Amino acid sequence: MIRVANAPVSYGAFELTVGVLPNVPGPDEVLAAVADAGYEGIELGPPGYLGDGEVLRARLQRFGLSLAGGFIQVRFSQPEHWDADLAAMAETLDRLAAGGERDARPVLADFGSPARVANPGRAALDRSLALDAHGWRRLADGVGRAAELARARGFEPTFHHHAGTFVEAPWEIERLLELTDVGLLLDTGHLVLGGGDPLQALRDWRERINDLHVKDVRLDVARGAIRDGADMPECWRRGVFCELGEGGVGLDAFFAELARDGYEGWLVVEQDWIPGPDDDLSRPAQAQARNRGWLREHAGL
């Protein structure tokens, strides 16, 4: 069975905006919009955004939502930061436990580097941006430690390849899969931005895929951002991720393959958005309702 969720980032609430920008919706506003649109679940968003412990549990119950997972960035290739980053990860695991959903995923992601954040989408062709052999060994060791921590708490983790990090391009994802035993979160939008094909990825990596983030991508915007040397925040500001069916990912073919494949688990719709100071916060809620309708019509979900 596929369960469909959304995420606070679709409404403009994520690590780069909460507590930083003035025009960001609060947790109750986001949860109400997610529930009203017909989603079954939600991801945590930035640490503490939805609350902790009983506050988090009560919020989820009030809006009738399940917890799908929580995003956890770790500086995997920098062992000197592991203690601090894994301590922060333990706090996210506490929140997942408070949500009461044992199928909620700890979503591991690399933190990247300033050079990678400044150059999303370019590692597919320029391997000078990538880790060397020693860096890959450190990254694999770090992922192994994080996976061990998650499993010790009763959660099976997944790894989110992400534009602007050291695991972005298809060849880097392949390397991660070779060096670790962790499951893969396939993100259609970040894969396209990183130079990959979601349909081929679904076929090639199916045995490792245990979570899904579904986005659509404006291919002209993505190409322009890469050509212009735009960094990852600028890609978001340009609106590289769009409503389902309005971009060039080829989602109908992707979902047809997914149906044949028999995937079961969470599918999280994301449309990363950075709100401007005068933006109407009702717009992303309307967009996520349309995304939910698109999934019903085109994917039977």
The parent domain of residue 159 ranges over 2-299
**Confidence label for 133 from pLDDT (cuts 50, 70 and 90):** very high
Residue with tokens 């100071």: 277
Average pLDDT over residues 125-148: 96
- Non-local (6+) Cβ contacts of 284 within 8 A are 10, 11, 12, 33, 271, 273, 275
List 74's β-bridge partners, or say none. Answer: 110
**What are the structure tokens assigned to 232, written together?**
């990852």
Would you say the pTM of this structure is higher than 0.85? yes
Encode pLDDT of 198-211 as tens digits.
999 999 999 999 99
Residue 64 exposed, middle or buried by CB count within 10 Å (0-12, 13-18, 19+): exposed
CATH number of the domain that residue 155 is part of: 3.20.20.150
Average pLDDT over residues 90-104: 92
What span, in angstroms and rounded, lies between the C-alpha atoms of 77 and 96?
A: 25
Tally the domains of the chain. 1
Least confident range from 44-48, 71-75, 76-80, 119-123: namely: 119-123
The yes-or-no verdict on residue 94 having pLDDT over 90 is yes
Q: Give residue 209's pLDDT.
A: 97
> Count of CB atoms within 10 A of residue 216's CB?
24
> Count of CB atoms within 10 A of residue 1's CB?
5
Encode pLDDT of 220-250 as tens digits.
999 999 999 999 989 998 999 999 999 999 9
Alpha helices in 80-167 (DSSP H): 82-99, 114-117, 133-152
What span, in angstroms and rounded, lies between the C-alpha atoms of 69 and 275?
A: 23
